[in-house]
């Protein structure tokens, strides 16, 4: 079992005249790097009004210079917003300056306020996503100059530099939730990102679906190619557990209101509508309870957790010292 981080910096416009929100996040990732966490995947969001990180590649470039071992990922860059060639150059640059530590999470987007803000029809999202993926792959691997023309983009006599360190390109991750989309991820050869909303029953079904799809595609299943987002909070008592769970459940009710437009969906239809019972989508409890929850996920084939609880360095220390060693001991004993 390996644990990474999922989230991003927060700096609301007009809230302060400094960079405290970003500084705190950078220090948090540096601490995670020191403690041996596997990765950090940061979001990309626009126009929400709550200060979510928008220029994700800029943030990762800075983190590349402040960290040593932790992998640096996006979850996800929304491809319809971006010029494919500029994005391919940025991704290759992050991969280079990080020494090949970049994980490229990509998606087609779902927030209506972002489609509205960029003046891109939502019904074009899938086609734009697929075109951008194909063009970036060509840009990363082409050794000679090429031209490209479509309804969306026109490029003449181009050669993308630098080339990424990881060849033929950084690992591609994409979020999926519905059965058909998970099967497509497996057949496309991408790594899978699963959201933090799905309860145990749904998560097990998704894992089984992906494992079967990998087999059908002639692809070996690798538990490190599925990142499952989960809230993890380690408590000291049953009373604290109940209090923290209530606080997180209330926060969960509002998490998808950011960027919502009246009368339109506020989250992907693939997200689970579970109640997030304490033994379900959350991993909140005393160390033995959190470990038991991780063991249950491990039995489903989950080997990679992306912790959504961002910002608390004390929690990082507790997970690193009280949770992860239990899995390292088991792994070493098996070897």
The pLDDT tens digits of the residues spanning 146-179 come to 999 999 999 999 999 999 999 999 999 999 999 9
**In the prediction, which pLDDT does 253 show?**
64
CATH code for the domain of 23 = 3.20.20.30
Q: Give the chain's domain count.
A: 1
CA dihedral 312, 313, 317, 319 (to 10 degrees): 30
**In the prediction, which pLDDT does 201 show?**
93
Range of the domain at 299: 2-334
Note the pLDDT tens digit of each residue in 64-120.
Answer: 999 999 999 999 999 999 999 999 999 999 999 999 999 999 999 988 989 999 999
Most confident residue range from 17-21, 43-47, 92-96: 92-96
State the CB neighbour count (10 A cutoff) for residue 154.
9
Poorest-pLDDT segment among 12-21, 22-31, 179-188: 12-21
Residues 29-44 as b/e (b if ≥16 CB within 10 A, e otherwise) read: bbebbebebbbbbbbb
- Residues 249 and 251: their CA atoms lie apart, in Å, by 5
Rounded to the nearest angstrom, the gap between the alpha carbon of residue 181 and the centroid of all alpha carbons in its chain is: 16
Beta pairing class for 102-107 and 146-149: unpaired
Residues 172-185 as b/e (b if ≥16 CB within 10 A, e otherwise) read: bbbbbbeeeebbeb
Specify the pTM: 0.90
Whether the per-residue pLDDT at 271 is higher than 70: the answer is no
Read off the pLDDT band of 334 (50, 70, 90).
Answer: very low
Read off the pLDDT band of 332 (50, 70, 90).
Answer: very low
């Amino acid at each position: 079992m390996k644990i990474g981080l999922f989230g991003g910096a927060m700096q609301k416009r007009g809230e302060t005249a400094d960079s405290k929100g970003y500084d705190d996040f950078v220090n948090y990732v540096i601490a995670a790097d020191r403690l041996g966490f596997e990765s950090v995947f940061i979001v990309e969001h626009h126009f929400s009004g709550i200060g979510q990180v928008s220029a994700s590649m800029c943030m990762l470039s800075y983190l590349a210079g402040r960290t040593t071992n932790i992998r640096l990922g996006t979850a996800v860059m929304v491809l319809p917003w971006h010029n494919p060639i500029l994005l391919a150059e940025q991704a290759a640059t992050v991969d280079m300056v990080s020494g090949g530590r970049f994980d490229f999470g990509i998606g087609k987007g779902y927030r209506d306020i972002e489609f509205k803000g960029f003046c891109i029809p939502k019904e074009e999202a899938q086609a734009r996503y697929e075109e951008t993926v194909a063009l970036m792959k060509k840009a990363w691997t082409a050794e000679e100059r090429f031209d490209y023309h479509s309804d969306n983009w026109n490029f003449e006599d181009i050669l993308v530099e630098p080339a990424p360190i990881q060849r033929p390109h950084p690992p591609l991750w994409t979020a999926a939730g519905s059965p058909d989309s998970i099967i497509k991820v497996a057949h496309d050869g991408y790594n899978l990102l699963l959201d933090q909303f799905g309860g145990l029953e749904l998560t097990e079904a998704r894992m089984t679906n992906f494992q079967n799809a990998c087999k059908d595609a002639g692809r070996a299943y690798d538990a490190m190619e599925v990142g499952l987002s989960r809230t993890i909070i380690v408590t000291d008592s049953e009373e604290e557990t109940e209090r923290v769970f209530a606080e997180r459940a209330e926060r969960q009710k509002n998490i998808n209101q950011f960027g919502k437009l009246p009368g339109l969906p506020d989250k992907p239809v693939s997200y689970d509508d579970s109640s997030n019972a304490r033994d379900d989508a959350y991993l909140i409890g005393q160390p033995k309870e959190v470990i038991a929850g991780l063991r249950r996920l491990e039995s489903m084939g989950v080997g990679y957790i992306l912790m959504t609880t961002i910002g608390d360095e004390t929690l990082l220390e507790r997970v690193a010292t009280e949770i992860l060693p239990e899995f390292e001991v088991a792994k070493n004993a098996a070897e």
